[in-house]
Amino acid sequence: SYESDANTGIQERQDTRVKKPDMYRVVLHNDDYTPMEFVVEVLVHIFHQTMEQATKIMLQVHTKGRGQVGVYTYDIAATKVKQTTDLARKREYPLKTTVEKA
Ligand code: TYC
């Protein structure tokens, strides 16, 4: 795209094609042991969802086996997966989240 030169008024083509970052989805997986309330707690506190959104996603994963939690840049997605896994392991729950390219 083009930008006006402040001094000359001449429009110069600059290299202004700005790349959007590759995006990654965080996927939540069902298991038989993690309590529903813990999953909701994770979705609210780590993924900043409302109780309503969190409950809906948790129940969908519980029924269907897996579900998308959110889409983030790679570093944010990886950090949220690590925070989730660390918190779950502290409580000895097998809760699993994974990252895939969106
Ligand atoms: N299936 C679990 C239960 O019945 C609840 C659960 C939901 C676990 C979603 C993990 O990603 C999950 N307690």
DSSP code string of 66-87: EEEEEEEEHHHHHHHHHHHHHH
Ligand 1, residues 26, 29, 32, 36: which to mutate, most atoms within 8 A of Cβ? Answer: 36
Instruction: For ligand 1, say whether the CB of 41 is within 6 Å of any of its atoms.
Output: no
CATH placement of domain 22-101: 3.30.1390.10
pTM over 0.95: no
* 3-class SS of residue 99: strand
CB atoms within 10 A of CB 49: 19
Q: Give the pLDDT confidence score for residue 16 in this predicted structure.
A: 77
Q: Which of 34, 27, 26, 39 is nearest to 66 (CA)?
A: 27
The pLDDT > 90 percentage for the chain reads 83
β-partners of residue 2 are 13
- Give me the residues of the chain with pLDDT under 50, please: 1-3
Q: Give the pLDDT confidence score for residue 1 in this predicted structure.
A: 47
